[in-house]
Structures are given as C-alpha cells and as structure tokens.
Structure 1
Amino acid sequence: MKKLLYFSLLSAGLLALGSCSLNNVSEDSHLEKYFAANHLKGSFALLDNVHETFNVYNLSSYKDSSYNPGNSFDILTTLIGLEKGAVTDENSLIQRRNDTAMTLGQAFKTDDTASFISLSDSIGRSTMQFWLDSLHYGNKIIAKNDPVFWQNDSLKLTPDELLGFTEKVYFAQFPFQKRVQRLVKDLMTQQSNTLYSLSYKAVWQVNKEGKHSGWIMGWEEENKRVYFFVIHAEAINNTADKNALVNTLKAILTDYGFFKGKK
C-alpha cells in the first residue's frame, strides 16, 4: 500500500503510531470558521482510535511546523516528578521560589509556571534531559540557564508529536509506573457524565515578542470509544486567550456530533 503521510509521534517504538494511508486521512477545511470565530489561526487533528482515521485542519502546519510546548510540558514534568518521588500525588505541596506553596493538582489545573519551575528544579536538569532523550520528546533541546525552557523556542515539537504523546498518556504506555500515569490521566479530566467524558489540558502564553499562542490536547470518550485531539493556535491581532482554545475545541467536536452519547 502506498503511504501518503508519516505521523512520527516521537520514536524508538515507544510512541509510534506508524503511517496513515490516503484512505484514513481527511482534510477538513470548513473548520477554519471555528478558529476565525474565536480570533485564532492554527491547526486541528482528531484521531478515531478504533478506526485509526484522522480528520485534520491545516495539514501542513499540523505535521510540519514545530512550536514550543508551553505549559503542555507540565504533563511530562508531572510524570517525571511523580516517578522520581519529587511529588507523591495531586495533594503534594510544591514550594515555589517566592516561599508560597501550591498543591500539584492546583498547579496542574491552573498552569502555574512558578510551581513547575520549582518542580523541575527538584527533579534536576540532568534527569529532565534523560527523559527527553529517552522518550525522543520533540527536538529534545533544553536551553541552558533557562528555568522555563519549555516556554522558549529551544524545545519544540509538532502538533502531530503532541497528539501521539497524548495518546500514550491515555493508554499508560510510557515507561513510568502505572499508578503515576493513572494520576496524570485523572488530572486531565474536565467533564464526565453519563453521555461522555472530556479530558484535556489547555495552555496559553505570551512570548517575549508579544505573540499570543497556545495548545489544547486530550481525548473524548463516548460509547466506550476514545477520540484524541490536538489544537495549536495563535491569536489573530492578540485578541484571543485560553478560553478561545476551549471554545474552538468544543465547537468543532459539537460539529462532529460529540457530546450526545451517540458517537
């Protein structure tokens, strides 16, 4: 079978989805209206895990463009921190540099950069680099002397890679303890009812040049099936925020018929 696309998803067999053929990748240009309505431009992908089909908006940006992970990197920092014992569960207190403290769960839910700087410090730069190398996370580059290396443009990955990372979080397929991976998966739950469960992490940042951008990645479960999604977006004229990402995601999923318990 002729291969059309390669969705690389990290490497070494740990995070590979393999490749997708012409029959299971659909480009969906009509989704642009949901980005525009929320003053965003970017890319979107949805993976139907059962049928291994992709719906993608802005394919070239999705598979070829790399961006810093921003506070989506909190997911990996949390996995490493729990694995190494720097924190033990969502109720563990993280002592920040300004002598205040916040629980891991609170820091994760609020994207508290100060907490994750402290957690990264507790883990240690060499350990962080070990896991970036082992998991082939993006380009694996940690900027020297930068306590927030995940927010600058040294460490980068594609939306395709982040979608693969998200899938591995769900299925607990990392070389971490199962308990650790279950805790992180639970931290991502946002809504759960009898019809569906929606889990995601949405993050937003403003870089040194004043550009506003962010990520939202996660999964929707419905009728015992799971669908994975990722959005990377930039604000048009800096008029959007994290809520715009969430609104865009929910509008797209609603368009696709989610949230009714019928998927």
Structure 2
Amino acid sequence: MLKSKISRIRGFSLLCKRGTVFLVALFVIVSCSVSQQVRPLDDSARLASGFEGGVFLLDGESGEFFATSEQWLVRAAIPASTFKVFSSLAALESGVVASTDQVIRLPTYSSTREEINRDLDFASAFALSALPHYQHLVREIGATKMQSYLDNADYGNRSMGGGVDQFWIAGDLRITPRQQLEFLRRLHRSELPFRDTVMAQVRQIMQRTERGGNVFGKTGWATSAEGLH
C-alpha cells in the first residue's frame, strides 16, 4: 500500500487584464501520494480567461520550479500588497507591533474601502489588506531600519525609491515570481533573517483553510503602468 506524505508547494501567480496586475503569493500544504508524478502545468484556464501572465510553483522538497511561462517566472513586478508579508515581518521584528492582536489606530480614516475605516488589530489589517494601516506601520519602522531588513533578506531589488510609504505600491521596489517563491520557501523553513517567533506569527496570520487544506498567502494588485516593467 502506498503511503501518503505532506508535500509543501509554494506558488506565485502574476496575471494581467485591462491595465491591472493581480498578484498572489502563497504556499499550500497538501496531502499527496508518494508515487504521484509531477505533470506540466495546465495553462488552458488562464488562456480561456483572457488574462496574460502565468502560474508558478516551487516544490518545497526538491527545490524544482514549475511554470506556465519561463519568461514570466523571471519578469520583475511591483509586489503591491503581497509585500504585506514582508512588512509584517519587519513590524514584528522591530517591535513596532508587539503581537498579532495589537490594535492599530490611525489619526483619521479616509479610505474608499469602508471596511478598513476603523481601528484594526494587526491580524485583521493583514486579512483585510488595509493599506493605510500598513503605511502607518512602515513609517513607524522608518526608512533606515526597513532598508536594512530588505538588504539582509535580499528581497527583490531591495529598492525603497519612491518614498517610505509608497515604494512597494507605486515606487521602485520590484521582485520576480522566482524570487517570491524563494522568499516564501525561506519563510516556511524559518530561514529568513528574522526571529523564529516573528516568522511563526506571520505564518499564522497568513493562514486560512481552503477545500480541506491549509493555504498561507497574500494577494495584491497594481495598475499595469506601476506593476510591470
């Protein structure tokens, strides 16, 4: 009888349509058979949808990459809200946020998204992708410390050009799907230059259950003018 095992697969997708870049950075824990063969990724659904881009996977055990497009695997994009994974690590490591249930309060609220126009605990700010709350946190961390975190973790091109609260959404920071996959793999293995407790807390707020499995990830989007180059 074949035994089953846990296979950890990290994925990053980058899809474009009508001037919008939609990004998903995630890693999934799924159960599979030892003898299950890896097959080429089926790209028919994306092609039928009219989106341009690709889907990319990294086998967490073998380190092998799978991509619907090798060209897109190494094509740099602005991380947009997928950067909240990194900024969450930085906020906890720096002490700006002490725990995932700490409440983040802003002086004023003026977002067009009514669901985030309020005080939010850290975990909820991540789940709701509350940009104003994260901009506040990054300003509190400061440019010098944030740059050191980017450099030490070797995140993307490590650029903070465009402003301390804009560089990941409309500034110069860029990262490829391959780099995102490698970053997520290091996070899963607690190999990033952050405290183990910090990485565990970030993995916790990334987690949700989908179709009987655990998914750890973060979505993001940007306009095509900002998102690709």
Taking structure 2 as the reference length, the TM-score comes to: 0.72
For the 8 Å contact 1:75–1:184, the answer to whether it is kept is yes
User: What CA deviation, in whole Å up to 9, does each residue of 1:158-194 have, x standing for no partner?
Assistant: 110010011111111112111110010111111168x
> 2:222: which partner in 1?
205
Paired AA for residue 31 in structure 1: D
In the alignment, does 2:59 pair up with 1:48?
A: yes
Aligned positions of 1:64-213 closer than 5 A: 65-98=75-108, 100-145=118-163, 147-191=165-209, 196-206=213-223, 209=225
Greater RCO, CA 8 A, separation 6+: 2
- Cα gap change, 1:49 to 1:143, in 2 (>3 Å): same
Partner of 1:31, secondary structure, is coil
Give the CA deviation at 1:143: 1.6
5+ long unaligned stretches in structure 2: 1-37, 110-117
The alignment's C-alpha RMSD in Å is 2.4
For the 8 Å contact 2:93–2:194, the answer to whether it is kept is yes
Partner of 1:169, secondary structure, is helix
For the 8 Å contact 1:97–1:118, the answer to whether it is kept is no
Aligned equivalents of 1:143, 1:153: Cα separation in 2: 6
Partner of 1:149, secondary structure, is coil
User: What CA deviation, in whole Å up to 9, does each residue of 1:113-149 have, x standing for no partner?
Assistant: 1010000011111111111112221111112435221
Give the CA deviation at 1:45: 1.5
Paired AA for residue 89 in structure 1: S
Aligned equivalents of 1:134, 1:172: Cα separation in 2: 14
Give the CA deviation at 1:43: 1.9
User: What CA deviation, in whole Å up to 9, does each residue of 1:222-253 have, x standing for no partner?
Assistant: xxxxxxxxxxx9xxxxxxxxxxxxxxxxxxxx
In terms of mean alpha carbon deviation, does 92-101 or 182-191 score higher?
92-101
Aligned equivalents of 2:131, 2:79: Cα separation in 1: 13
Spell out structure 1 runs of 4+ moving beyond 4 A: none
For the 8 Å contact 1:72–1:201, the answer to whether it is kept is yes
Aligned equivalents of 2:132, 2:66: Cα separation in 1: 36
- Cα gap change, 1:115 to 1:175, in 2 (>3 Å): same
Paired AA for residue 114 in structure 1: P
- Cα gap change, 1:172 to 1:95, in 2 (>3 Å): same
> 1:60: which partner in 2?
71
Paired AA for residue 141 in structure 1: S
